[in-house]
Amino acid sequence: MNSCRRKFGFLAFCILVAGAKLTFGQQETCSVTTFFRDLTSKAEVSSSRYRISKFSMEMLDGEFTKLIVHDGSGVKISVGGQIVKSIFKKDPVRLRLKLSFSGESDDTYDSLDGVEAETIYDKRWQWLSIGNEIRVKDRIHTFTLGCERVARKYRS
């Protein structure tokens, strides 16, 4: 009798799982990572790369800006993304990313110490990354902004 209940329970579970629909969605996220190299050591001492911020790539009016303060160094990192549409329909839509140490999120695209990257932004776009270095005391800190589109499966 117990064996029969188990088989029936397993069969009911399989039917429920098979009946659930898979929904596919795409999520666009960005993260800022960092590592440092110590200049005082002759052995080239450096840290592991680690993430200091992760956020959704939601754009209001075609752009986003964020100001991130790195606790270990006190460096203020300004990052931004922008969707650039052409006035000509045949030209592709572009994604522009920027990273700078200006300290103001509004100055991300006008900063002199920043780095910038641009790519075609369409349904096949998957990933873009930029990085920049800054010296603080006896360490060189490298900061990287990476944005990606990841396909996710959801059961409904």
53 located within any domain: yes
The reported pLDDT for the residue numbered 32 is 97
3 located within any domain: no
10 located within any domain: no
**Nearest Cα residue to 41 out of 142, 144, 140:** 140
**Across 97-101, 119-123, 126-130, 151-155, least confident range:** 151-155
65 located within any domain: yes
8 located within any domain: no
12 located within any domain: no
Spatial neighbors of 5 by CB under 8 A, at least 6 apart, are none
DSSP strand E in 43-123: where? 50-56, 63-69, 76-84, 94-100, 115-120
Range of the domain at 34: 24-155
The reported pLDDT for the residue numbered 16 is 47
In the chain, how many domains are there? 1
9 located within any domain: no
pLDDT, average across residues 64-92: 90
72 located within any domain: yes
**pLDDT at position 46 over 90:** no
pTM over 0.85, yes/no: no
